[in-house]
Structure 1
Amino acid sequence: MKVAVLLSGGLDSSTCLAQAVKMHGSDSVFALNIQYGQKHQREIRSAADIARHYGVSTQLLDLSGIFAHSQSALLRHSENSIVHASYSEQLKALGGSGTVSTYVPFRNGIMLSAAAACAQSLGASDVWYGAHRDDAAGRAYPDCTPEFVAAMNTAIYEGTGHEVRLYAPFISMNKADIVKLGLELKVPYELTWSCYEGGDRPCGKCGTCIDRLEAFHRNGVRDPLETPEEV
């Protein structure tokens, strides 16, 4: 059985890849990394490092043109800056619900469609995707919700002639749960990258940095990318 894994180089997708490799073996796993016009290339490098660590075949696909008209703060052509606040604070400012400034319009839908096409071409039966409960909260990222995953699974299954399914193993888990699993799987988190700002060290202030640090601390361990002042 072959599976395709969307691999960004971040904590969630790297844990997803580790679980896929444990279940199916590295020879049966294909990793797809997407260039979507993001402001920095740090995650791209991490994805390559993670794929190399697990010995899986990988492909970098450029879909940046699709998002040329978006002003998401994640995109290099956008004039909007990354918000330095937790997701809960950002959602509170939105009245409790709504997309945050780092949401890229239907990004995950586009990526999963590309992954499904690659999976079917390679004879893979599943597309693995690391969406989790924290990203879905308040519909900050609506393309991470259980409703979206269910709809995309139906679309992929029907659109591939019942040959490929979508698998989101973390959809009912939070980030702390994922870190707990990753520690059990011995995921090399020092190779991953989550910060939206890029750079040599994580900023520790953007929403994803804050979530990541909290997830490690809730497991009673230090994030290997933590700077001394964050400990």
Structure 2
Amino acid sequence: MKVLVLLSGGVDSATCLGLAIHRFGKENVVTLSISYGQKHVKEMEAAKKIAAYYQVEFIYLDLAKIFEYSDCSLLTHSEQEIPKESYVNQMEEQGEKPVSTYVPFRNGLFLSSAASIALSKDCSRIFYGAHSDDAAGNAYPDCSKAFNEAMNQAIYIGSGKQLKIEAPFVSLNKAKIVEKGLELNVPYELTWSCYEGAEKPCGKCGTCIDRAIAFEKNGVSDPAMNV
């Protein structure tokens, strides 16, 4: 079986790639990294390094044009500040709405684009790293189990029953993902999670906070912080 892995350059997608290679062998794995107009290129640089580390094919796609109408705080053209607080605090302030770093239907667009490329590359699976922490409280609704099931059904039917998607961590939290990644020797020192594009992670944005907690719960220091 050939698998296409959506690779953002962060902890979750890197672990997803490590798992796919462990299951199917690197010769059967293709990676796809998608730019969406984010404020920095650190994620893309990390994704390239991770793909090179594993010696798998790397495909790049730019979907920034689609998101130019959004005022999501992650995007280059937005004047909104990226929140410097945990997702828990953000959700308390937002109520039922997604957090300000939610890029409108991003995973839907990513998976649809990936489906076309996966079919062209003779892949029968798409792997992506959605997990329960991001889906909690409707922070990122396109990371939920319900969304994954709906997209899987749509892509399976729309591909003539040739292609399925799999989110192996959709029921797990980030700490469990890191636990699995440590078992697989995922090169976390190459990954980038921070929403800011400085030389070092800010340590204050929601994704930095979640990442730090995940490594702490596994009793290890974050390798990326020591690079």
Do Structure 1 and Structure 2 share a fold, with TM-score over 0.5?
yes
Aligned residues: CA RMSD: 1.1
Asked if 1:98 is matched to 2:94, the reply is no
| 1: CA distance, partners of 2:176 / 2:76 | 32
Matches within 5 A, 1:126-165: 126-165=125-164
Deviations 1:19-40 (A, max 9, x none): 0001111110000000110000
Match of 2:51 in 1: 51
Match of 1:24 in 2: 24
Cα displacement (A) at 1:225: 2.4
Cα displacement (A) at 1:93: 1.0
Matches within 5 A, 1:44-193: 44-95=44-95, 97-193=96-192
Deviations 1:163-209 (A, max 9, x none): 00010000000000000000000011000000000111000000000
| 1: CA distance, partners of 2:177 / 2:220 | 13
Deviations 1:74-112 (A, max 9, x none): 1001111100000001011123x3200100000000000
| 1: CA distance, partners of 2:141 / 2:52 | 31
2:60 maps to a residue whose letter is L
Match of 1:10 in 2: 10
| 1: CA distance, partners of 2:137 / 2:166 | 22
| 2: CA distance, partners of 1:214 / 1:153 | 30
2:183 maps to a residue whose letter is E
| 2: CA distance, partners of 1:226 / 1:22 | 26
| 1: CA distance, partners of 2:146 / 2:166 | 13
Match of 1:37 in 2: 37
| 2: CA distance, partners of 1:171 / 1:35 | 22
Cα displacement (A) at 1:135: 0.2
Cα displacement (A) at 1:224: 1.4
Deviations 1:117-172 (A, max 9, x none): 11111110000010000000001001001110000000100010000001000000
Deviations 1:26-76 (A, max 9, x none): 110000000110000001000000000001001110111000100000100
Match of 1:224 in 2: 223
3-state SS of 2:202 partner: coil
Asked if 1:196 is matched to 2:206, the reply is no
TM-score normalized by the length of structure 2 = 0.98
| 2: CA distance, partners of 1:10 / 1:175 | 11
TM-score normalized by the length of structure 1 = 0.97
Length, aligned pairs only: 227
Unaligned runs of 5+ in 1: none
3-state SS of 1:200 partner: coil
State the identity as a percent.
57
